[in-house]
Each structure stands twice: as C-alpha cells, then as structure tokens.
Structure 1
C-alpha cells in the first residue's frame, strides 16, 4: 500500500512571497545604489581628491610659517555624543616648513599659554586634521587662534575671525543664542 501525498493548499502569505520575492530582491539591490554618489563623494573628500575640505579658508601666515586651512564639511557643528558638538578642520603646512613645525594647535579664543593652546592637528604635514569641540554658548564674535610650535622651541600664533573660518558655525551659534 502506498500512501498518496495529500496536497496542502498554499497559504496566502506563501503565494504572495513566491509571486513577489524576485521583485523584493531587486529592490534590495537597487536601494543602496541610490546612496552610492554620496558615498563616493565622501571617500574622495577623505582621501583628499577634492582638496582639503568642502570649504577652503585660505592661506594663513603664522609667524615665519604658513598653512592652508579648510573646513572639512561646510555645515554646522555635529553632535558627537556626550562630548557635545564638534567641528572638523583640515590643514596643510607649506612645503618649506613641514620639517620645522613640531605641532599645530587650534582654539576658539586666545590661549593663555602653550598648555592651553587647544586641540592638536594630527596627521602628516601635507594633510592634517583637528576635531574641535564647539560649546553651544560660544560667542560668535570670537577669533579662531592657530598656534605653531617649532622644533627649535619657537612658538608663533595668529588669529582669524570665526566668521571667516566657518560661517556655518557662526550661523549655528547665533541660532543657539551664543553670548553677545
């Protein structure tokens, strides 16, 4: 005696899956393609193929040395977890001063000493980055101070207005209600 297979009627969910599974899989492949242009733009920016950043600040003279500086992103500071809001700047030292500069620092407001010079730029002299905290109550009229320390012990400082370095940050600070 052989047992005949009893055919079960397919559920409506099973029929729906078998009918649309190909289309759903195609969507799963096509959706990420929509994000590819932004991804390639971000990779080119990180690699330096599109310059130092989205917005060049220009060449800044710091004592006998100079550097080119740019905002990494032309946007307001971004929240970085419990540490607050941060802004990224990139810089490139002049070719003559790369071997003479020991460290480069960035700070909002004039530093009182080298110990309070601010955040340090990291990376090679041809492309350095600094991630700076921006408190919400920062005065938008303050200056951005750049401090360079040489291998010979010399220290040079200069400042540029924050509105010149990052107009997006100044607009964000005014919106936050920064100190006048």
Structure 2
C-alpha cells in the first residue's frame, strides 16, 4: 500500500484560501440575510399588503367622488436625471366611483386646463401610482391638485397643501432654498 503525500500549499494566498475558504463561504451566505428585512418590507409595500404607501395622506373629496391618497415613500424627492426630482404617490378610488372615473391626474399648482392637468395615475382603480416631478422653484406653500375626469366628460378638481401631502418634500424644498 502506498502512502499519498500531499504537499503544503506553495503561496501565502493559497495557504490563506485553504485555511479560510469555509468561513468566507459562510459569510457569503450571511451577508444577504442582513438585507432581507428591507427586501420583504419593500415587497410588502409594492404588493399593497402594508397599505397604499409608507405615509397615508387620507381621503380627498374631489367633487362627487373621493380617493385615498398616500406617499409611496416618506422621504425627499429622488433625482431622476434630466427629468429633475420626482416624488411618487399612490391612490385608490372610492368603491362607488370606480365605474364613473375615466382618469386621475396629479399636479403641483392649479392646472390651467385638462391638457395641463399634470401626471396621470396608472394602474387599477384600487391601487394607482403616479410619479410627480417637483419643479425647482416650488414654494413651500404650494398646493397639490387632483383632477378627476369622468366618463361623462365632467371634470372635478380638489387641492391639498403640499405640507399636508408631503412634509418631507416641504423640508427638502426649505433645505434647497437655504443653499
């Protein structure tokens, strides 16, 4: 019977790898586990299991209809390249007005006409989303205007103060004004 003789690893890197490879592999498994709570919280938010968004604004009455409005994330607007800074909102129409509302729009400042009504909400009436551009010169006392267009051609508008809709955006605007 012959004995197999194994030679020790030649380089320092090879010795390090042979000694620590098990521990490094365990680390590769454990590091992603640290990010799992954030992943599951985001998945729950996007599925709608934890409500419309991180910060519920409340019910807004727009003419004969109403909708539930929420900020997707309770944070300052995010930069989106040449488009500027954007803020995401979610909405859900009331049960009675789902069949009557054709389109829902969101805008900072009063719209001049339906053609300038703002960004349109997309998705199902139970969970619609819109990404609103925040203009550079937005005042802290600005208003968020919601426009609902009915299938019968009617148009109803309502506004809420931006400070009520997104305090994080108002704080961000105040910080940018101080620069």
Query: What SS does the aligned partner of 2:21 have?
Result: helix
Structure 2 unpaired stretches of 5+:
none
Distance in 2 between residues matched to 1:89 and 1:132, nearest whole Å: 8
Root-mean-square deviation over aligned CA pairs: 1.4
Q: Name 1:18's counterpart in structure 2.
A: 18
Structure 1 unpaired stretches of 5+:
none
Distance in 1 between residues matched to 2:38 and 2:8, nearest whole Å: 49
Query: What SS does the aligned partner of 1:70 have?
Result: strand
Q: Name 1:73's counterpart in structure 2.
A: 73
Q: Name 1:46's counterpart in structure 2.
A: 46
Residue correspondences, number: 173
State the 1:52 CA deviation: 0.5
Deviation per residue, 1:108-160 (Å, 9 max, x gap): 00000000000000001000000011123211111000000000000000100
Query: Which consecutive segments of 4 or more residues in structure 1 shift more than 6 A?
Result: none
User: How do 1:94-133 and structure 2 match up within 5 A?
Assistant: 94-133=94-133
Query: What SS does the aligned partner of 2:169 have?
Result: helix
Q: Name 1:93's counterpart in structure 2.
A: 93
Distance in 2 between residues matched to 1:18 and 1:139, nearest whole Å: 62
TM-score for the superposition, normalised by structure 1: 0.93
Distance in 1 between residues matched to 2:135 and 2:150, nearest whole Å: 29
